[in-house]
Amino acid sequence: MVSIEMIVAARARLRGHARRTPLLSSPFLDEIAGRRLFIKAECLQHTGSFKFRGGWSAVSALEPAVLERGVIAFSSGNHAQGVALAAKLHGVPSVIIMPSDAPKLKISNTRALGAEVVLYDRATEDRDAIGARLSEERRLTLIKPFDEPQVIAGQGTTGLEIAEQAEEEGVTSAEVLVPCGGGGLTSGIALALEASTPDFRVRPCEPEGFDDTTRSLASGKIEHNATLSGSICDAIITPQPGNITFPILKRLAGPGIVVTDEEALRAMALAFTRLKIVVEPGGAVALAAALFHGEQLQEDAAIVVTSGGNVDAEMFGRALAQG
């Protein structure tokens, strides 16, 4: 359902709208990791995360008559902001369904981008049901956060950039560590790298207790998380891998890597100290995996995606204090 041709087409539509985020490095981080590390700083993307890529890709692919009615999405914050900005730039309305416990910064930013925000309790309410009802009532097009081909294609443009930037750095083989929730970014990057750099292997990274993708890859079937709250890595907490994304990951990804919340906080502090970038907890899990679980890696080089930087001041202060 998603092809390299779709990813290339998404890149053409994103040209002039998305940033080509940098590939950063630090000898201090290399020393901790015991290998060469390159950090793909998607926290510097528009709206502070890679989600703008998928949001723009999906919105820009809609037929004009459909687009004019507006779009709806559900998200803890990063997909929300990506879709809200894409809709605003296209001049169409957006409704975003967000969990009530999402970081206040993400909720306020989404509203500031012109979206109507509908809050729900993620422990007792079904966001899919809410989204289906509102999209039908208002004739809005639902843009799913990860299990949507055009969203995956947009996220896959990150992989095209990684391949180009790795070549510029002389890297010919590497493991590519990606924060993984539903798998849209991870599967999109995997598809892009399969076509351009087959010696690169994607590794999904997740927080402890919410490692549905890691367990699914180990068992060969989709596994579920027992709960949807209890980690500071809110951006990548999902019930299960996607029905579209998991087959891609099953075919192309290596084993998942699981990190603790404390390791994510330490990675946030090191990213700020050594790279001068701000990363949120969920966006830091791949860096934490590279820094603190290097025994699970096989290549001499690792490329790490820091997928988002939308973090409240209180949580960021906690990270700096721990780091």
Beta bridge partners of 178: 204
Between the two ends of the chain, the Cα-to-Cα distance in Å is 42
* pLDDT per residue as tens digits for the range 254-286: 999 999 999 999 999 999 999 999 999 999 999
Whole-number average pLDDT of the chain = 96
* pLDDT per residue as tens digits for the range 290-310: 999 999 999 999 999 999 999
Task: Round to whole Å and give the CA distance between 15 and 150.
Answer: 15
Backbone angles phi, psi at 62, to 5 degrees: -75, 150
* pLDDT per residue as tens digits for the range 23-35: 999 999 999 999 9
Give the strands of the sheet with 94-99, arranged side by side. Answer: 116-120, 94-99, 71-74, 141-142
Both tokens assigned to 239:
């019930």
Q: Give how far Cα 311 sits from Cα of 57, 277, 316, Å.
A: 25, 12, 6
Number of neighbouring beta carbons within 10 Å of residue 243: 11
Both tokens assigned to 182:
């539903």
Please name which of 150, 131, 126, 7 lies closest in space to residue 71, comparing C-alpha atoms. 131
Residue type, 311: V
Q: Say if strands 71-74 and 141-142 run parallel, antiparallel, or are unpaired.
A: parallel
Is residue 154's pLDDT more than 80?
Answer: yes
Please name which of 78, 76, 163, 154 lies closest in space to residue 120, comparing C-alpha atoms. 76
Q: Output the pLDDT for position 131.
A: 86
Mean pLDDT of 37-57: 98
Which residues, in sequence order, are CB contacts of 315 under 8 Å at separation 6+? 103, 232, 280, 281
Band (pLDDT 50/70/90 cuts) for residue 105 is: confident
- For tokens 């202060």, what's the residue? 317
Identify the DSSP state of 49.
B
* pLDDT per residue as tens digits for the range 191-248: 999 999 999 999 999 999 999 999 999 999 999 999 888 999 989 999 999 999 999 9
Strands (E), 143-207: 174-179, 200-207
Q: Output the pLDDT for position 323.
A: 67
Q: Output the pLDDT for position 239.
A: 92
